[in-house]
Amino acid sequence: MSVEKHEFEAEVKQLLGLMIHSLYSHKEVFLRELISNASDAIDKLRFDGLTRPELLPSGAFEIRLGVDEAARTLSVEDNGAGMSREEAVANLGTIARSGTGEFIEKLKASSGKLEAPDLIGQFGVGFYASFMAADEVSVLTRKAGESGATLWKSDGGGGYSVEEAERDEAGTTVTLQLKPADSEDGLADFAQTWTLRQTVKKYSDFVAYPIHLDVTKAPTEEEEPADAETAPASDEPLDSNEPLNSMKAIWTRPESEVGEEEYSEFYKHISHDHSEPMLRITSRLEGTFEARSLLYVPGRAPFDLYHREMAHRGIQLYVRRVFIMDECRELMPEYLRFVKGVVDAEDVSLNVSREMLQQDRQIRTIRKHLVKKILDTLKELKKADPEKYLRFWAEFGPVLKEGLLAWDEKRERILDLLLCPSSHHESELTSLDDYVERMPEAQEEIYYLVGPKHEALVDSPHLEAFRDKGIEVLLLSDPVDEVWLQQMPPEFQGKSFKSVGRGEVDLASEDEKQQAEETRKQEEETYQDVIAAIRSAVQDEVKEVRLSSRLTSSPACLVLDDGEITPQLEAMLRQAGQEVPTVKPILELNGSHPLLQKLQRIFDKDAVDPRIASYAQLLFGQALLAEGGQLADPAGFSKRLAELMVEALGESG
Ligand code: ADP
Ligand code: MG
């Protein structure tokens, strides 16, 4: 069949442009990426071969590097799963990860600046990194189980071509037409064996399949190449069968023997993340079931952490050093989905399938052990290195809090790890422990206020009475906070959580109570009529209008009844496709505010003065805005506000 030309997807073009022209300094990582892909493809075929042995190659799994010194080509070949023509087009011409669009926008915004390489790293450079070292890249691939092969070619410009081809066995060969070495640009000479050896040793030593090297020497006039000066003679066992990598499972080696750099390269290999990990957690489960694990917390949240279809690179499962599967979700709860790493179990069956995993008692035991180990490590970190813990919390706190949504998992332990601002510490974070420590003797509950915007919480009228009394209130503004606090409020150290935005608040001491009760009765009598008038003006928006005991300076605020969901949660649930009843808030008015007194006076003069209804609408609207809510009719609100401004000026001018 003829050669078919394709354009790269717009996002690929942008990424390629950035990669090729940015200041990306570690150009040699392209080799790591190609070897990683080869190793992934072999993993995949190994796994498929468990159930369909006819797919397996005739020889052993291996990765071969081939250098042709004269032609200046480098190839990376594997006998893994290969790709069909459609797969090659989809995998090598598009970026299928969700959220890629937004991400590229961010990249573009920072292009040329220092941030760009960092961002590329966060994204994972992948296959396209080859274009940092090559003028042209071709991929010859044949999918296991198919007879035809595909040749994919591109010069990294706007597009690529695909055509039918032949290949003896299933697998993939990626061939690079190497750019000239350029030391200024940080590009070493990858036609040189020792560069290849060094790079493999540095980045891919632990790859589980042997990486062999075949060299086609450039014809030289003399027998001995002058090359010997740059390359140490001992580094040239030419046609030895010795692989370039040791293939040692890094988690089986004593920690003291493995350098931090090696650990960090291993992290990059399994996570497809390019930046340094924040934490490394090794552990060993002993007893009835045995397992070892090497886990990492990434340096920062991947950009697609909150996308539902996020690429879970998560946890790889090995059984007795043999790779079984990627993204073994059964080993890690959702709220720890940012943790990456390897688990090597001793007694699980090598033929374990995904369906079996869920039932497997051993897997459940290992999962429990890992969760405990991770939470312990975080707790320790919180104590030992608060600054680093803050960084951790900033990246992953909101995800960790998702763990509070389930009864069964370790809620109290997660609460222990929680940090949030409070009315006493608006721009710092406090832990629940410290909050409880500061609680006055008489305070029985943990007070909190939840809403979509931190700034709105800080200035919320709901806090007024609490501030006056010096009572600290936690301020929670992550979307998930709405859910865990409302749907299944937990307890912490035997104390329950109480929202200052709901129900009635009762901050008065016994002595004050009587006094407060009196004032309240008086106010209720005084304002009875005007409150009724206000109520009828906003009856579509609120279910009740009443006097407040939580306001000292603002004229009004909105509160919910205990047990009712906030408008934010309501919106979230709707978006998730759930049916939820519309909840109407309660409008609370400040009986000591001059506005209410003035309205009462207007009412006394003329009970149907239209200004009362207007003001009622404005009071409701501004109370809604004050808590970061959204007006149903912003234009109407503005119009009414403008009218009243004119009127106010008219009177004074
Ligand atoms: P990632 O490895 O993070 O998925 P890459 O850009 O490295 O991203 O590779 C893109 C995709 O191309 C891979 O997910 C895989 O489907 C396919 N691919 C790349 N190299 C190979 C290979 N050697 N064998 C089979 N498939 C490959
Ligand atoms: Mg890859």
Q: Which of 194, 216, 238 is the last residue of a domain?
A: 216
**CATH at residue 92:** 3.30.565.10
Give the residue whose CA is nearest to atom 7 of ligand 1: 126
**Same-domain check for residues 361 and 427:** no
What is the DSSP pairing of strand 279-285 with strand 495-499?
A: unpaired
Tell me the per-residue pLDDT of 495-539, one tens digit each, with 9 for 90 and over.
999 999 887 777 766 677 778 788 888 888 889 999 999 999 999
**Same-domain check for residues 492 and 547:** no
**Same-domain check for residues 369 and 436:** no
**Same-domain check for residues 273 and 357:** yes
Half-sphere exposure of 633 toward its Cβ, with a 13 Å CA cutoff? Answer: 10
* Ligand 1 pocket: which of 11, 43, 61, 91 to mutate (most atoms within 8 A of CB): 91
CB 501 within 8 A of CB 450: yes
Flag whether 395 is in a domain.
no
**Same-domain check for residues 129 and 184:** yes
566 contact partners, CB below 8 Å, separation of at least 6: 450, 451, 482, 486, 501, 560, 583
Flag whether 197 is in a domain.
yes
**Same-domain check for residues 282 and 376:** yes
**Same-domain check for residues 553 and 482:** no
* Ligand 1 pocket: which of 8, 16, 39, 40 to mutate (most atoms within 8 A of CB): 40
Flag whether 636 is in a domain.
yes
CA angle 272, 75, 220 (to 5 degrees): 140
**Same-domain check for residues 562 and 447:** no
* Cα–ligand 2 centroid distance for 578 (angstroms): 38
How many domains, the chain? 4
**CATH at residue 521:** 1.20.120.790
Q: Which of 195, 216, 237 is the last residue of a domain?
A: 216
Half-sphere exposure of 319 toward its Cβ, with a 13 Å CA cutoff? Answer: 15
* Cα–ligand 2 centroid distance for 375 (angstroms): 30
Flag whether 222 is in a domain.
no
Flag whether 558 is in a domain.
yes
* Cα–ligand 1 centroid distance for 208 (angstroms): 17
**Same-domain check for residues 42 and 180:** yes
Flag whether 239 is in a domain.
no
Distance CA 448, CA 499 (A): 5
**Same-domain check for residues 535 and 633:** yes
Q: Which pLDDT score is estimated for 125? A: 66
* Residue-range definition of the domain harbouring residue 639: 510-652
Q: Which pLDDT score is estimated for 512? A: 73
Quick check: CB of 271 below 6 Å from ligand 1? Answer: no
Quick check: CB of 80 below 6 Å from ligand 1? Answer: yes
* Cα–ligand 2 centroid distance for 468 (angstroms): 58
* Cα–ligand 1 centroid distance for 91 (angstroms): 6
Q: List the beta bridge partners of residue 214.
A: 66
Q: Determine whether 578 is exposed, middle or buried from the number of CB atoms within 10 Å of its CB (0-12, 13-18, 19+).
A: exposed
Give the residue whose CA is nearest to atom 8 of ligand 1: 126
pTM recorded for the entire structure: 0.72
Q: Which of 467, 499, 531 is the last residue of a domain?
A: 499
Q: Which pLDDT score is estimated for 366? A: 93
Alpha-carbon distances of 236 from 25, 197, 214, 225, 452, rounded to whole Å = 28, 10, 12, 12, 63
Flag whether 359 is in a domain.
yes
* Cα–ligand 2 centroid distance for 80 (angstroms): 14
**Same-domain check for residues 187 and 133:** yes
Closest CA to 555 of 530, 521, 583, 518: 530
Residues of the chain with pLDDT under 50: 114, 226, 228-229, 231-237
**Same-domain check for residues 366 and 284:** yes
Index of the ligand 1 atom closest to the CA of residue 76: 23
**CATH at residue 279:** 3.30.230.80
Quick check: CB of 272 below 6 Å from ligand 1? Answer: yes
Flag whether 163 is in a domain.
yes
